[in-house]
């Protein structure tokens, strides 16, 4: 299967100060040497990095087990831990949905430099990978959705019950352990051209550690005890990351198998309503694949999309511009059937 040259229709430049060129890093420029770190072809993940993937996926599971044991021993979870976990869930979750996904991947809106940097850091706190790699993987997913070349399609092994079960496991977590990495130079050249995003991408290990350290320090500051710091590390750090991860991965897996498909797509992307609140609107996945650049995924009545609400707040504050909101004309063109009453 030949791979087409990506045009980034609906996934182009995301911020007002990005450089809009197909090969944005000019030879001989100050950025050229640094940009060489991002290969033009698929490359194999080194062993030490592969080991870190196992740690990032596995350690939050251990954290959940420890948290449950502690809760059983001490009569539940403290309000402090719940509050810290909820705060960091909002920050890291919206960093992924609003920042990594709707801004950096799909250009659903444009923003200023401070908010661009803040969203890139917030998304990195989710420990789903550096921003440039995340965007490259997701753009490739859209280019080959549920077809050969899709990094995480649940239909990878076929459509028999056994093959689909195997595919769901692959789409949910299995693909994370694939040592073949998507080419960032091919799929995210605009992000590579942005010095701010390159720096945040390189600082991912530091940001990842701070995602665990910050809740710990907050727990100590609020309780004044080592145990308060430790339980905040467990619930606000590890368990919060576990939940963010599995919500994101459920969109990759479940939202391509079950649910409703009221909009026309070339794949199996579907709407899963019961995931909408915890995914901040990302589970309205059928509309997203029908109109990837749309800033709102939950476009029908009673479809909760808090990520769109955050973008709307940014727009009202003057921090977000050129927001691509849904229009009835565009929705009518992609809708299979009349909108529900």
Tens-place pLDDT, residues 157-177: 999 999 999 999 999 999 999
User: How many residues does the structure list for the chain?
Assistant: 341
For residue range 64-89, list pLDDT tens digits in order.
Answer: 999 999 999 999 999 999 999 999 99
Taking the whole predicted model, whether its pTM rises above 0.85 is answered as yes
Enumerate the domain spans of the chain: 45-259
Q: Parallel, antiparallel, or unpaired: how do β-strands 320-321 and 110-111 relate?
A: antiparallel
Q: Tell me how crowded residue 156 is: count the other CB atoms within 10 A of its CB.
A: 20
Beta strand segments in the chain, E: 43-44, 110-111, 180-181, 320-321
Strand partners, 321: 110
The pLDDT tens digits along the chain (341 residues) read: 333 333 434 433 333 333 333 445 554 444 554 555 565 556 787 888 899 999 999 999 999 999 999 999 999 999 999 999 999 999 999 999 999 999 999 999 999 999 999 999 999 999 999 999 999 999 999 999 999 999 999 999 999 999 999 999 999 999 999 999 999 999 999 999 999 999 999 999 999 999 999 999 999 999 999 999 999 999 999 999 999 999 999 999 999 999 999 999 999 999 999 999 999 999 999 999 999 999 999 999 999 999 999 999 999 999 999 999 999 999 999 998 665 55
pLDDT at 42: 60
pLDDT at 47: 85
Q: How many Å separate Cα 174 from the centre of its chain?
A: 16
């Amino acid at each position: 299967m030949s791979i087409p040259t990506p045009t980034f229709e609906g996934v182009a430049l995301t911020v007002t100060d990005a450089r809009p060129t197909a090969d944005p890093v000019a030879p001989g420029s100050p950025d050229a040497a640094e940009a060489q770190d991002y290969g033009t072809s698929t490359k194999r993940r080194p062993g030490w990095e592969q080991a870190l993937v196992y740690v990032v996926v596995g350690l939050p599971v251990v954290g959940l087990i420890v948290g449950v044991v502690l809760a059983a021993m001490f009569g539940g979870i403290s309000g402090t831990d719940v509050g810290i976990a909820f705060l960091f869930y909002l920050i890291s979750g919206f960093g992924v949905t609003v920042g990594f996904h709707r801004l950096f991947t799909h250009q659903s809106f444009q923003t200023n430099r401070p908010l661009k940097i803040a969203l890139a850091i917030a998304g990195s706190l989710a420990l789903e990978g550096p921003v440039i790699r995340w965007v490259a993987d997701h753009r490739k997913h859209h280019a080959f959705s549920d077809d050969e070349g899709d990094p995480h399609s649940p239909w990878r092994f076929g459509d028999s019950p056994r093959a689909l079960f195997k595919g769901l496991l692959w789409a949910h977590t299995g693909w994370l352990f694939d040592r073949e990495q998507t080419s960032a130079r091919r799929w995210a050249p605009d992000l590579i051209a942005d010095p701010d995003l390159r720096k945040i991408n390189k600082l991912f290990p530091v940001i990842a550690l701070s995602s665990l350290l910050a809740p710990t320090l907050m727990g100590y500051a609020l309780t004044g005890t080592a145990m308060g710091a430790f339980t905040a590390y467990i619930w606000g750090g590890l368990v919060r990351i576990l939940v963010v991860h599995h919500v994101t991965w459920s969109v990759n897996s479940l939202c391509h198998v079950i649910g409703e498909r009221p909009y026309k797509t070339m794949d199996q992307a579907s709407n899963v309503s019961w995931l909408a609140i915890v995914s901040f609107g990302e589970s309205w996945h059928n509309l997203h694949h029908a109109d990837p650049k749309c800033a709102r995924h939950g476009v029908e009545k009673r479809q909760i999309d808090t990520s769109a609400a955050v973008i709307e707040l940014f727009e009202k504050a003057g921090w977000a511009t050129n927001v691509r909101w849904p229009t009835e004309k565009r929705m009518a063109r992609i809708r299979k059937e009349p909108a529900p009453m």
